[in-house]
A and B are shown apart, each in its own frame.
Chain A
Amino acid sequence: MITVEHLSKRYGSHPAVDDVSFTCEPGTVTGFLGPNGAGKSTTMRMICGLTPPTAGSATIDGQPYRRLGNPGRRIGVLLDASAQHAGRTGREVLTLAALTMGVERRAVEDSLEKVGLNSTAAKRRVKAYSLGMRQRLGLAHAMLGDPGILILDEPANGLDPEGIYWMRGLLRDFADRGGTVLLSSHLLREVEAVADKLVVIGGGRIVAQGGKDELLAASGTVVRALDMAALEVVLQRTGLPGTPTTDGGVVVQAEAETIGRAAADAGLVLLELRPAGSGGLEQMFLTLTAGDSVKEAVR
């Protein structure tokens, strides 16, 4: 169980993370979503005791990370797959971790096998690894101590579609066996397929969080009419402003019935009227975080 309470980090006058609170329960996968520079990595580093927070706290099973005597046995962490000595072989990286954690050397072979790195790959130096192979090595490293909790920062980066599919299965299975997973990404689609819970962050603040189904249900209704201009007028008149989608529809934060009645009263022909689902969540994700991405690009 990961508990994050009012976590904040300021660099000078810039708030990188601002009053972030959430929990990750055993048996669930929590997707930590946000554009680049939203504060995902900083939050994860604060959970792992690598960055001192300006305010707030984070605990692992009720204890601060730095107080865990041998954290590798309780929590597996993959924050940056590229942060490995380029001159060590894959097997050596895992052997060092196994020695530190005090796990049997056999576990190294087991975890190499689990992530699909064969003996040829294990003998090569990390310098020669592709990003996808580094991610696999990082996952092996995180799972080496047989922890009950996983914290993974953008683990799908560099993985091919088959690799992403494989990783989802691995994480789903881990959570189904009672494990806790916190997984970050800047792509909604990537975490949507595996997460039970979503925490959306933008500009250092949490902009939405809850069960995935709950967030999907609350993401509005897509409506498309034969005469879109007329529909827009009707929506404005009834106080239901919508945001246009990329394929010519409008997402409205209202029940299908409300929109349908308003359209019927105006005598409009509707071509589409359905829950927005993930499309709506993506729309919300973009709207909520767009300003921040621009800011980041300018900064």
Chain B
Amino acid sequence: MTAVQTAPTSAPGGAPGPGGGRTGIPMARLTVVELRKLADTRSGLWLLIVIGLAAAGTAVIMLAAAPDDQQTFQELLSFGLFPAAVLLPVLGILSMTSEWSQRTALTTFTLTPARGRVVVAKLFAAVLIAVATTAAAAVLSAAANLIAIGTGGDGSWHIDAALVGQLLVNQVVFVLMGSAFGALLMNSPLAIVLYLVIPTLWSVLGEMVRWLHTAAGWLDINLTSTPLSEPGMTGEQWARFGVAVLVWVALPLLLGTVRVLRREVT
């Protein structure tokens, strides 16, 4: 019997397509992938659901317990963003750490060897999710304000334009701080615990130890970010907050990125 060699139908790798060849993967595509990765696992999805439920919870508390004159859109939004400010950074942490704890770094960095671009895409995704969360909280607060009007609350729609910016900055900075801690520590539980404990410990020390008090005024991220939730933040308060951001966000992010770029993927 003679084996007949059939002509190959198509050579592997012969298909020309967009994104083939030497051109890198566009940043927009990487960002979409990283955004999708934030919500396509149970942990990520539930974090987002819990943030939504907690935001709704704050609105209920405000409507039920706050004095009538505090039931305004501005107050509802400031309070409604509190759960996101606490939980969204955890999503930022997991975005960085899960690559190592779930070992997906192996496929992520095989498909995108330019690791710095993956880190940047993760930061873009974190910022976008913070903006989206703030927008969603605004919609929720508007709905709550309508109810407040119906139930005899103040229901004022006035909101300080600068405060909107401050609230947004607050969300973005804390989610980036989470990402920075995640990139630096590369371990989910460790990063979450240290993210929550170290700044708080520093706040407590700043309160208790007299000679640390002045330093804490500039280096305590919890303390210096408090004015962000209230209208009328001054230039000096921005300066103090900026210094704290350098120490708590920029520095760990820089060190974390270097670590991600250099670490051997196994």
Contacts and interface: CB of A to CB of B under 8 A. Distances in A.
Nearest to B103: A83
Contacts of A169: none
B37 A96 contact: yes
Contacts of A174: 12
Given A83-B104, A85-B104, A96-B40, A102 B264 contact: no
Contacts of A87: 41-43, 102
Interface in A23-78: 45, 48-52, 65-74, 77
Contacts of B60: none
Given A50-B265, A77-B110, A101 B13 contact: no
Main secondary structure of the interface of B (DSSP, over half): loop
Interface string B85-104: 00000000000001000111
B36 A96 contact: yes
Interface string B208-240: 000000000000000000000000000000000
A96 B102 CA distance: 15
B33 A148 contact: no
A71 B10 contact: no
A78 to B, nearest CB: 9
Given A82-B103, A147-B13, A100 B41 contact: no
B151 interface: no
Contact of A69 (B8, B14, B23): B23
B265 A99 contact: no
Interface stretch (A176-184, A190-198, A252-260, A287-295): A176-184
Contacts of B107: 83-84, 93, 97, 141
B266 interface: yes
Given A66-B113, A82-B103, A178-B8, A102 B25 contact: yes
A224 B79 CA distance: 88
Interface string A167-178: 000000010111
B47 to A, nearest CB: 12
Contacts of B40: 88, 92, 96
A100 B23 CA distance: 13
A70 B43 contact: no
B99 to A, nearest CB: 9
Nearest to A177: B8
B32 interface: yes
A102 B18 contact: yes
A269 B59 CA distance: 98
Contacts of A85: 41, 98, 102, 104
B11 interface: yes
B33 A177 contact: no
Interface string A116-139: 000000000000000000000000
B24 interface: yes
Contact of A148 (B13, B22, B42, B114): B13
Contact of B17 (A48, A66, A77, A103): A103
A149 interface: yes
A102 B30 CA distance: 10
A36 B253 CA distance: 37
Nearest to A146: B15
A4 interface: no
B9 A73 contact: no
Contacts of B150: none
Nearest to A138: B107
B114 A96 contact: no
A102 B17 contact: yes
Interface of B: 8-15, 17-25, 29-30, 32-33, 36-37, 40-43, 98, 102-107, 109-114, 264-266
17 contacts: A49-B113, A51-B265, A52-B264, A68-B113, A69-B21, A69-B23, A69-B25, A73-B13, A74-B13, A83-B107, A96-B36, A101-B111, A102-B25, A146-B12, A178-B11, A178-B12, A179-B13
